[in-house]
Each structure stands twice: as C-alpha cells, then as structure tokens.
C-alpha cells in the first residue's frame, strides 16, 4: 500500500487546488469560514484562492508551454506575492507539458526513494517526500523561491535515495 501513496497524494493535492479556489464562493465555503473564525480566530481562506484563481486564468492563456521559466505572479497579476503553490507555479511557467514533466520527475524521485524504503532512513525520507508533496500545494519551496527550505528538503530526499545500509 505504501508504494501506491504517490498515486493517491499527487492527484489529491492537484484536485485540492481546484476545490479550494471554487469553495470560497459557495455557501459551504462561507460556513467553513465562519466555523474557522469562531473556533480558531483565523479565516479558512487565506487569500490564496484569489491568488490561485488569477494565476490559473493567466496560465490558461498559454496552457501548453506556459509563459516562460522565471515568471513571477507579480508580473502578470495584481498580486505581489509568490504563487504559494509549486504546481500552479510550474503550470504558469511551463504549461501543462511542464506540469506533466514535473509530475513525472516527482514520480521517478518516488521510485528511487522506494528502493531504499526497506531501511529506516529510506522509509523516513519517503514519508517526508509525501509530506513535501502535500506542502507544495500551499507553498512554493522545491525550487529557488525559498533557498534554505529548498536545500533542506532536497537534502532529506537525497539522503533517502543514496542511503546505504552496511
């Protein structure tokens, strides 16, 4: 079952983005927001839904190849923030082809981690990788946007891939 987690998690996080953006304008979304404000004193919607909707709309203008590597949302939207979503950022820059290639790259990283999942270090690194896939739906840190966190994530991934139990 563990080896199939990639095929559960990645579609889930991609679908999550769609539902999070559309939920904000529904009565259920408003009820969730009221409950969140009541019990946590925090809004359920952090503003990401508006940012993601704007990025999605811009991305759909050039959906196959995207708008080019290095493009920041502030260059094409009224927002001055980063995309706060690795998958949308990849889509914005490289289109659906780039997003598919990125998902394939993540799959091969997953397969490499599974080869060492019989070891303690490899299993923990694979679990961390699954966490990274979730985290990237709310942040943009695998690439150069946040170097200190990016380096730490890649270090843990590479340790899990290269770990040798002697």
72 phi and psi, to 5 degrees? -105, 145
In total, the chain counts a number of residues equal to 166
pTM over 0.85: yes
CA 74 to chain centre: 19
Q: Are 137 and 86 in contact (CB under 8 A)?
A: yes
Predicted pLDDT of residue 128: 97
CA distances 140 to 113, 137, 153, Å, are 22, 8, 12
Predicted pLDDT of residue 46: 86
Going from the first residue of the chain to its last (166 residues), give the mean pLDDT of each consecutive group of 10, the final group possibly shorter. Answer: 94 93 93 95 91 95 96 93 93 97 97 94 96 94 86 96 84
**122, two tokens:** 């490899």
CA distance 21 to 65: 23
Residue (of 126, 134, 132, 133) closest to 159 by Cα position: 126
Tokens 């009221």 found at: 34
Predicted pLDDT of residue 160: 95
Predicted pLDDT of residue 130: 97
Predicted pLDDT of residue 145: 76
Predicted pLDDT of residue 143: 86
């Amino acid at each position: 079952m563990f080896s199939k987690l990639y095929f559960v998690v990645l579609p889930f996080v991609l679908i999550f983005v769609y539902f999070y953006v559309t939920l904000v304008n529904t009565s259920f979304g408003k009820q969730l927001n009221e409950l969140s404000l009541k019990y946590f004193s925090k809004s359920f919607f952090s503003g990401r839904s508006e940012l993601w909707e704007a990025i999605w709309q811009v991305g759909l203008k050039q959906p196959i190849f995207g708008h080019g590597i290095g493009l920041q949302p502030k260059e094409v939207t009224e927002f001055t923030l980063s995309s706060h979503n690795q998958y949308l950022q990849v889509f914005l820059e490289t289109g659906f082809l780039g997003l598919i290639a990125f998902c394939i790259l993540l799959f091969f990283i997953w397969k490499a981690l599974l080869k060492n999942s019989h070891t303690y270090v490899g299993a923990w690194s694979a679990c961390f990788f699954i966490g990274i896939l979730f985290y990237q739906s709310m942040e943009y840190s695998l690439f150069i946007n946040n170097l200190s966190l990016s380096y730490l994530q890649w270090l843990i991934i590479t340790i899990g891939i290269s770990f040798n139990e002697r």
